Amino acid sequence: MRVSGAVVVIAVLDGGSGADLARRFTAAGAAGMLIADQHVGIAEDLAAELDRPGCPVVGVCGDIRRPSDVAALVDTAEKHLGPIDLFCVAGPEGERVVSLADLPDHLDLERLAELVALIGEAIGELVPPQRRPSESTATAA
């Protein structure tokens, strides 16, 4: 995984923290980062702390469990930082990094759906089993 020169999105789930991950990417030479947290002010404060010449950092409030928020994060990152190289999910059980090397520079709707699926898999890996919906709850309508 190439970090030097990469544009990185870090999305934080409830119970997770993107601070250490963001600091590691900054130290490794990331070209820019967008940090998203579900709670207002958290990502913005971290972005203000880490923003520097050569690695602009943008902080936004967003919930990656919603496809519309994923689309907004992608748009914001591409607008301010350029094409995304790495999309990271930080959850209560750790971190997962999704490389976008196989996706085109600009994510069209089909590729965005692929990204949403990858993020869904990452969330599944990082959310403790006791916080996941049970089979009976998930299928009850």
Q: Are 46 and 22 in contact (CB under 8 A)?
A: yes
pLDDT greater than 70 at residue 109: no
Angle, CA of 117, 88 and 56, to the nearest 5°: 130
Of the CA atoms within 13 Å of residue 23, those in its CB half-sphere come to 5
> pLDDT tier at 141 (50, 70, 90 boundaries)?
very low
First-to-final CA distance of the chain: 42
CATH class of 1-101: alpha beta
Residue 140 has a pLDDT of: 42
Instruction: Parse the chain into domains and list their residue ranges.
Output: 1-101
Residue 114 has a pLDDT of: 73
The amino acid at residue 107 is L
Residue range 78-87: mean pLDDT, rounded? 91
